[in-house]
Amino acid sequence: MQQIIRELDRQEILRYLGWRGGELSPQMDQLLTRCIQSTLETIRPNYRYQYFPIASTPEGIQVEQTGLLLTGSSIARHLEGCHSVYLLAGTIGLAHEQLLRKTMLTQPEAGVVLDSCGSAAAEAVAELADREIQRLAAGEGKYTTPRFSPGYGDLPLSCQQPLLSALRAMQTLGMTVSSGGLLSPNKSVTAIIGVRDTPANQTRSPCDACLKRGNCEFRRRNQVCYRSKQG
């Protein structure tokens, strides 16, 4: 679904940049403002999601009516008590990626900021879709889990391809995936959102499922990544 994003979260962008707090210099503030504006002018936010029942098997969690099998203990814990999922794919399009490549060649410092703006924009796309899914589920008296993406915890990136195929994301969004599981356009997101009949137990931290917990730059800076903020 084509969307319009009119603003980006400056603090989110600074987190991606590894900003440790303190007042921005006038030059940095101007650069950030300029890169945000360039990003808003070039992105083409779009997403697609679809509801599927799931079934537990000895091999993992099968997303029915698709070729997607969700393996690993992290996703099993995440979907505990769920009877179905929404699969989600979203992207900001190729134009921003092309602008980023040109900027990196001529203005590397601006390119780094522009890259973080693109990451924040992709997260904004996922947030838009997530809120829409939450409203749909709530309208049916259901509850949703936070988003869980391939590559998070021990859910392998190899499930990117069947997830995109289930959503026809190449045809509808122009999204593809490499043999290594990397998405194109680069600033794209995929996720699994569980659906259940009762509220989930929220005592577990989203960080508990993450394989990077012991070596996390965000935790060292006393910050959280976007996945943790979903919890």
Is the residue at 55 inside a domain? Answer: yes
Distance CA 140, CA 198 (A): 12
Residue 3 is predicted with a pLDDT of: 78
CATH code assigned at 18: 3.40.109.40
Owner of token pair 């602008």: 99
Q: What is the pLDDT of residues 99-137, one digit of tens each?
A: 999 999 999 999 999 999 999 999 999 999 999 999 999
Is the residue at 154 inside a domain? Answer: yes
Is the residue at 50 inside a domain? Answer: yes
Is the residue at 216 inside a domain? Answer: yes
Q: Which regions of the chain are under pLDDT 50?
A: 203-204, 211-214, 220-222, 227-228, 230-231
Distance CA 134, CA 14 (A): 28
Taken as a whole, the chain contains a residue count of: 231
Residue 122, SS3? helix
Is the residue at 1 inside a domain? Answer: no
Distance CA 143, CA 137 (A): 6
183 lies in which domain range? Answer: 10-229
Is the residue at 133 inside a domain? Answer: yes
Distance CA 185, CA 129 (A): 18
Number of domains in the chain: 1
